[in-house]
Amino acid sequence: MLDDPKEINIPCNLCGLDDYSVVYEKVVPEKSVEINDMYSAAKGVLCTDQVVRCNNCGLVYINPRLDAGIIIKACSEGDDEVYVSQEAGRIATFGECLEFAEKYAKKKGSLLDVGCAAGFFLKVAKDSGWNVLGIEPNKWLGDYGRKKFDVEVLSSTLEEAKLGDKRFDIITMWDVLEHMPNPKSGLLEANRVMKDDGVLIISYPDYGSIFSKIFGRKWWFFLSHHLYYFTPKTLEKMLNETGFKVIKSKRHFQRLKIGYMVNMARNLSGDKSSVSFLGSIQGVLNFTGLNDVQIPYYASQKDIVARKIRNV
């Protein structure tokens, strides 16, 4: 764990200005959290940082925050047993995601999955005939995918990988863009390594969703590892500026076990009565044996399909 890492002020990643209003002020966490857990995608650590909105373009993001190098280093370390525990449901979800992606592909060619985690989507795409490559900063997750599914995973960020120009027909970013310290840079790099007229597919938590408006700071996607909170408007503008045009947007559904979802909800709830209520539900699930039943659900996420329209 780092000794007292310093936070720095971050300008807007979309328009570059340093003019913002505070959406939610920083709060004191109930207990200290290891930095590796803070930036783990599956540990479910609640966001206690200050959330701001750019007064110029409307992008919502964490400010101030730790330096990008510290965040990326933290992301690269530690395991993620929680994430891989839901392998069956995630593979089923990604099977549906691939069917959706292939509607916009001109052929089954080369596919890059950025932030590929344990390689579940790579496995599904490889089995379907795609030539696949994954990018994943977390070494433990990358090793999991390489060993279990025999897929190529580079342990780096997209920018650090320095891939060749115009190499991929499709690039996917499933729940990744909001984690990036510099999402605009990531999109520019995706543009460079994508073939002309290629397709980019992004899933993201929609800050403009009705759930975000109803739950406010208790919205379940306000997590410590999310650095940006996109709406369809701010994401489309960032895509336009990085050489892409949105051609499709839809709700994103996942398949996970009921017991896992209830347990995650308990961990994320700061309200004692909610914790008690969810604990009772978990007891019923244990008694009835329904813990392992998979169900499709929508929880505020969206899928965006964007086509490359120019080199930038």
| Domain boundaries 81-255+299-308, corresponding CATH code | 3.40.50.150
The CA-atom distances, in angstroms, between 142 and each of 6, 44, 78, 97, 115 are 29, 20, 12, 20, 10
Closest CA to 94 of 8, 19, 203: 203
| Residue-wise DSSP of 45-69 | PBP-S-EEEETTT--EEE-SEE-HH
Distance CA(305)–CA(103), nearest Å, equals 10
Q: Which runs of E-coded beta strand occur in 115-215?
A: 131-135, 153-154, 168-174, 194-205
Helical pair 258-268 and 272-288, crossing angle rounded to 10 deg: 160
What residues does each domain of the chain span? Answer: 7-76, 81-255+299-308, 258-288
CA angle at residue 108 from 107 to 114, to 5 degrees? 115
The size of the chain, in residues, is: 312
**CA–CA separation, 308 vs 247, rounded Å?**
10
Sign, CA dihedral 122-179-77-80, equals negative
How far is CA 138 from each of CA 62, 94, 152, rounded to the nearest angstrom? 22, 20, 14
CB-CB contact of 168 with 147 (8 Å): no
Going residue by residue through the chain, which has 312 residues, state the pLDDT in tens, using 9 for 90 and above: 445 578 999 999 999 999 999 999 999 887 788 887 888 766 778 899 999 999 999 999 999 999 999 999 988 887 878 788 778 888 988 999 999 999 999 889 999 999 999 999 999 999 999 999 999 999 999 999 999 999 999 999 999 999 999 999 999 999 999 999 999 999 999 999 999 999 999 999 999 999 999 989 989 899 999 999 999 999 999 999 999 999 999 988 776 555 444 455 555 555 555 445 445 555 654 656 645 555 566 678 999 999 999 999
pTM comes to 0.86
Q: Quote the CA–CA distance of 245 and 239 in Å, as a whole number.
A: 7
> Residue with structure tokens 């995706």?
190
